[in-house]
Amino acid sequence: MIVECSSCAKSNRLPAKRAAEKAKCAACKASLLPPAHPLALASTQDFDELVRDAPGPVLVDFWAEWCPPCRMVAPELEKVAAECAGRVIVAKVDTDALPDVASRFDIRSIPTMILFRDGSEAERVSGAMPASSIKGRFRL
């Protein structure tokens, strides 16, 4: 998966199975983990690796740029990622960029959020909601 450094904005490649370990930015040496922002997944392989290998739960937001409710929930997911850093990884899948992933999980409306545990779908919810409701629905 690609993790952007919060200090220098450099992109760093990091295996998902190392998400619970300490990792530093290759450029500025700032700490990369735990991710306190949603991770934008750029490929099907990144999605599969993260869901399969992450050491803990992964909350995936299926969204699209043209979707107003998706843009409304984006700052709420930022809050969830910051508040739950170290306990859950928050990721985003653009359904227009990765239609095969959206199709695999039968995404019919966006935003849809799916919580994966141990590589499998545990829960899902559709619709925009505040961070407190997201955390409550998924018991984060």
Catalytically active residues, by annotation = 67, 70
What whole-number distance in Å separates Cα of residue 115 and Cα of residue 135? Answer: 11
First to last CA, the chain: 22
Q: Specify the amino acid at residue 117.
A: R
Q: Which of 89, 116, 82 is nearest to 101 (CA)?
A: 116
Contacts of 94 (CB under 8 A, 6+ apart): 40, 63, 64, 65
- Alpha carbon dihedral 51, 98, 93, 68, in 10-degree steps, equals -160
